[in-house]
Structure 1
Protein backbone atom coordinates (compact mmCIF):
# COMPACT_ATOMS: atom_id res chain seq x y z
CA UNK A 1 0.00 0.00 0.00
CA UNK A 2 2.87 2.38 0.76
CA UNK A 3 4.22 2.02 -2.76
CA UNK A 4 0.83 2.97 -4.20
CA UNK A 5 0.68 6.05 -1.95
CA UNK A 6 4.21 6.95 -3.03
CA UNK A 7 3.38 6.70 -6.74
CA UNK A 8 0.23 8.78 -6.29
CA UNK A 9 2.28 11.31 -4.31
CA UNK A 10 4.78 11.46 -7.18
CA UNK A 11 1.93 12.11 -9.61
CA UNK A 12 0.74 14.96 -7.42
CA UNK A 13 4.29 16.31 -7.60
CA UNK A 14 3.96 16.34 -11.39
CA UNK A 15 0.62 18.13 -10.94
CA UNK A 16 2.08 20.90 -8.83
CA UNK A 17 4.96 21.47 -11.23
CA UNK A 18 2.44 21.59 -14.11
CA UNK A 19 0.52 24.24 -12.16
CA UNK A 20 3.74 26.22 -11.74
CA UNK A 21 4.22 26.19 -15.50
CA UNK A 22 0.64 27.34 -16.11
CA UNK A 23 0.88 29.98 -13.38
CA UNK A 24 3.94 31.50 -15.05
CA UNK A 25 1.91 32.53 -18.10
CA UNK A 26 -1.44 33.20 -16.41
CA UNK A 27 -2.76 36.62 -15.50
CA UNK A 28 -5.53 37.94 -13.29
CA UNK A 29 -7.88 35.47 -11.63
CA UNK A 30 -6.48 32.52 -13.58
CA UNK A 31 -3.11 32.98 -11.83
CA UNK A 32 -4.80 32.58 -8.43
CA UNK A 33 -6.69 29.47 -9.56
CA UNK A 34 -3.45 27.89 -10.74
CA UNK A 35 -1.82 28.85 -7.44
CA UNK A 36 -4.69 27.25 -5.51
CA UNK A 37 -4.33 24.02 -7.51
CA UNK A 38 -0.57 24.18 -6.97
CA UNK A 39 -1.00 24.47 -3.18
CA UNK A 40 -3.55 21.64 -3.06
CA UNK A 41 -1.34 19.33 -5.14
CA UNK A 42 1.70 20.23 -3.05
CA UNK A 43 -0.14 19.41 0.17
CA UNK A 44 -1.44 16.12 -1.25
CA UNK A 45 2.01 15.17 -2.56
CA UNK A 46 3.79 15.88 0.71
CA UNK A 47 1.12 14.14 2.76
CA UNK A 48 1.33 10.99 0.64
CA UNK A 49 5.13 11.04 0.80
CA UNK A 50 4.92 11.35 4.59
CA UNK A 51 2.45 8.44 4.80
CA UNK A 52 4.65 6.26 2.57
CA UNK A 53 7.71 6.91 4.74
CA UNK A 54 5.91 5.39 7.72
CA UNK A 55 6.79 1.95 6.31
CA UNK A 56 9.34 2.57 3.52
CA UNK A 57 12.94 3.70 4.03
CA UNK A 58 13.09 7.49 3.77
CA UNK A 59 15.97 7.48 1.29
CA UNK A 60 14.25 5.08 -1.08
CA UNK A 61 10.86 6.78 -0.76
CA UNK A 62 12.29 10.24 -1.39
CA UNK A 63 14.36 9.08 -4.36
CA UNK A 64 11.38 7.35 -5.97
CA UNK A 65 9.06 10.30 -5.24
CA UNK A 66 11.44 12.85 -6.76
CA UNK A 67 12.20 10.51 -9.66
CA UNK A 68 8.53 10.17 -10.54
CA UNK A 69 8.21 13.94 -10.27
CA UNK A 70 11.26 14.55 -12.44
CA UNK A 71 10.28 12.09 -15.17
CA UNK A 72 6.66 13.27 -15.18
CA UNK A 73 7.66 16.92 -15.24
CA UNK A 74 10.01 16.40 -18.19
CA UNK A 75 7.30 14.49 -20.08
CA UNK A 76 4.73 17.23 -19.34
CA UNK A 77 7.29 19.81 -20.44
CA UNK A 78 7.77 18.00 -23.73
CA UNK A 79 4.09 17.29 -24.43
CA UNK A 80 2.40 20.39 -23.02
CA UNK A 81 4.99 23.16 -22.88
CA UNK A 82 6.78 22.26 -26.16
CA UNK A 83 10.17 21.71 -24.58
CA UNK A 84 12.72 19.89 -26.76
CA UNK A 85 12.70 16.09 -26.85
CA UNK A 86 16.33 15.53 -27.78
CA UNK A 87 17.90 12.11 -28.00
CA UNK A 88 20.11 12.58 -24.94
CA UNK A 89 17.29 14.02 -22.87
CA UNK A 90 15.19 10.91 -23.56
CA UNK A 91 18.15 8.61 -22.87
CA UNK A 92 18.72 10.14 -19.44
CA UNK A 93 15.02 10.10 -18.60
CA UNK A 94 15.03 6.39 -19.50
CA UNK A 95 17.93 5.75 -17.13
CA UNK A 96 16.04 7.58 -14.40
CA UNK A 97 12.98 5.36 -14.96
CA UNK A 98 15.25 2.31 -14.77
CA UNK A 99 16.72 3.58 -11.51
CA UNK A 100 13.26 4.10 -9.99
CA UNK A 101 12.25 0.56 -10.94
CA UNK A 102 15.54 -0.76 -9.57
CA UNK A 103 14.98 0.94 -6.22
CA UNK A 104 11.56 -0.68 -5.97
CA UNK A 105 13.06 -4.14 -6.54
CA UNK A 106 15.90 -3.80 -4.03
CA UNK A 107 13.74 -2.32 -1.25
CA UNK A 108 12.18 -4.35 1.53
Structure 2
Protein backbone atom coordinates (compact mmCIF):
# COMPACT_ATOMS: atom_id res chain seq x y z
CA UNK A 1 0.00 0.00 0.00
CA UNK A 2 2.91 2.36 0.66
CA UNK A 3 3.88 2.35 -3.03
CA UNK A 4 0.33 3.35 -3.95
CA UNK A 5 0.54 6.19 -1.44
CA UNK A 6 3.85 7.25 -2.96
CA UNK A 7 2.48 7.32 -6.51
CA UNK A 8 -0.54 9.32 -5.30
CA UNK A 9 1.83 11.74 -3.55
CA UNK A 10 3.70 12.24 -6.83
CA UNK A 11 0.48 12.78 -8.78
CA UNK A 12 -0.76 15.39 -6.32
CA UNK A 13 2.68 17.04 -6.47
CA UNK A 14 2.23 17.33 -10.25
CA UNK A 15 -1.19 18.92 -9.73
CA UNK A 16 0.28 21.42 -7.25
CA UNK A 17 3.07 22.38 -9.65
CA UNK A 18 0.63 22.78 -12.56
CA UNK A 19 -1.54 25.00 -10.40
CA UNK A 20 1.43 27.25 -9.57
CA UNK A 21 1.75 27.92 -13.30
CA UNK A 22 -1.99 28.41 -13.62
CA UNK A 23 -1.99 30.79 -10.66
CA UNK A 24 0.76 32.91 -12.23
CA UNK A 25 -1.24 33.20 -15.45
CA UNK A 26 -4.80 33.62 -14.10
CA UNK A 27 -4.61 34.83 -10.49
CA UNK A 28 -7.89 33.17 -9.50
CA UNK A 29 -9.11 31.46 -6.32
CA UNK A 30 -9.69 28.12 -8.03
CA UNK A 31 -6.01 27.78 -8.96
CA UNK A 32 -4.93 28.81 -5.46
CA UNK A 33 -7.23 26.31 -3.76
CA UNK A 34 -6.26 23.49 -6.15
CA UNK A 35 -2.58 24.28 -5.56
CA UNK A 36 -2.99 24.13 -1.76
CA UNK A 37 -5.06 20.94 -1.94
CA UNK A 38 -2.59 19.35 -4.37
CA UNK A 39 0.45 20.06 -2.22
CA UNK A 40 -1.41 19.21 1.00
CA UNK A 41 -2.48 15.80 -0.29
CA UNK A 42 0.99 15.26 -1.72
CA UNK A 43 2.59 15.72 1.69
CA UNK A 44 -0.08 13.60 3.38
CA UNK A 45 0.45 10.66 1.03
CA UNK A 46 4.23 11.06 1.22
CA UNK A 47 4.03 10.86 5.01
CA UNK A 48 1.86 7.74 4.79
CA UNK A 49 4.30 6.12 2.36
CA UNK A 50 7.25 6.92 4.63
CA UNK A 51 5.72 4.91 7.46
CA UNK A 52 7.11 1.79 5.77
CA UNK A 53 9.43 2.95 2.97
CA UNK A 54 12.92 4.30 3.63
CA UNK A 55 13.06 8.09 3.58
CA UNK A 56 15.67 8.30 0.81
CA UNK A 57 13.78 5.98 -1.52
CA UNK A 58 10.42 7.63 -0.87
CA UNK A 59 11.79 11.14 -1.35
CA UNK A 60 13.69 10.26 -4.52
CA UNK A 61 10.65 8.67 -6.15
CA UNK A 62 8.30 11.44 -4.98
CA UNK A 63 10.52 14.15 -6.43
CA UNK A 64 11.09 12.12 -9.59
CA UNK A 65 7.38 11.71 -10.24
CA UNK A 66 6.70 15.35 -9.38
CA UNK A 67 9.54 16.77 -11.48
CA UNK A 68 9.07 14.61 -14.55
CA UNK A 69 5.29 14.81 -14.32
CA UNK A 70 5.47 18.58 -13.99
CA UNK A 71 7.69 18.77 -17.06
CA UNK A 72 5.30 16.55 -19.03
CA UNK A 73 2.31 18.63 -17.96
CA UNK A 74 4.20 21.75 -19.02
CA UNK A 75 4.76 20.28 -22.47
CA UNK A 76 1.18 19.07 -22.85
CA UNK A 77 -0.77 21.92 -21.25
CA UNK A 78 1.45 24.97 -21.55
CA UNK A 79 3.30 24.52 -24.84
CA UNK A 80 6.77 24.05 -23.38
CA UNK A 81 9.45 22.62 -25.72
CA UNK A 82 9.11 18.93 -26.64
CA UNK A 83 12.53 18.19 -28.09
CA UNK A 84 13.98 14.69 -27.94
CA UNK A 85 16.70 15.59 -25.42
CA UNK A 86 14.15 16.82 -22.91
CA UNK A 87 12.04 13.69 -23.36
CA UNK A 88 15.16 11.50 -23.02
CA UNK A 89 16.14 13.00 -19.68
CA UNK A 90 12.59 12.91 -18.34
CA UNK A 91 12.54 9.22 -19.28
CA UNK A 92 15.80 8.71 -17.39
CA UNK A 93 14.28 10.24 -14.24
CA UNK A 94 11.23 7.97 -14.52
CA UNK A 95 13.46 4.97 -15.25
CA UNK A 96 15.45 5.70 -12.10
CA UNK A 97 12.27 5.80 -10.04
CA UNK A 98 11.18 2.46 -11.48
CA UNK A 99 14.64 1.06 -10.75
CA UNK A 100 14.38 2.10 -7.10
CA UNK A 101 11.02 0.34 -6.88
CA UNK A 102 12.47 -2.83 -8.37
CA UNK A 103 15.35 -3.03 -5.90
CA UNK A 104 13.33 -2.03 -2.81
TM-score normalised by length of structure 2: 0.97
2:13 maps to what in 1? 13
Across the two proteins, how many residue pairs are aligned to each other?
Answer: 104
2:82 maps to what in 1? 85
- How far, CA to CA, are the matches of 2:37 and 2:2 in structure 1? 21
- How far, CA to CA, are the matches of 1:54 and 1:84 in structure 2? 38
2:53 maps to what in 1? 56
- How far, CA to CA, are the matches of 1:40 and 1:75 in structure 2? 20
User: How big is each residue's C-alpha offset from its partner over 1:8-56, in whole Å with a ceiling of 9 and x where there is no partner?
Assistant: 11000000001111101114xxx22211111111110000000100000
2:102 maps to what in 1? 105
Any idea what SS the aligned residue of 1:80 has?
Answer: helix
Larger Rg: 1
Runs of 4+ deviating beyond 4 Å? none
Question: C-alpha root-mean-square deviation of aligned residues, in Å?
Answer: 0.7
- How far, CA to CA, are the matches of 1:5 and 1:33 in structure 2? 25
- How far, CA to CA, are the matches of 2:89 and 2:38 in structure 1? 26
Structure 1 unaligned runs (5+)? Answer: none
TM-score normalised by length of structure 1: 0.93
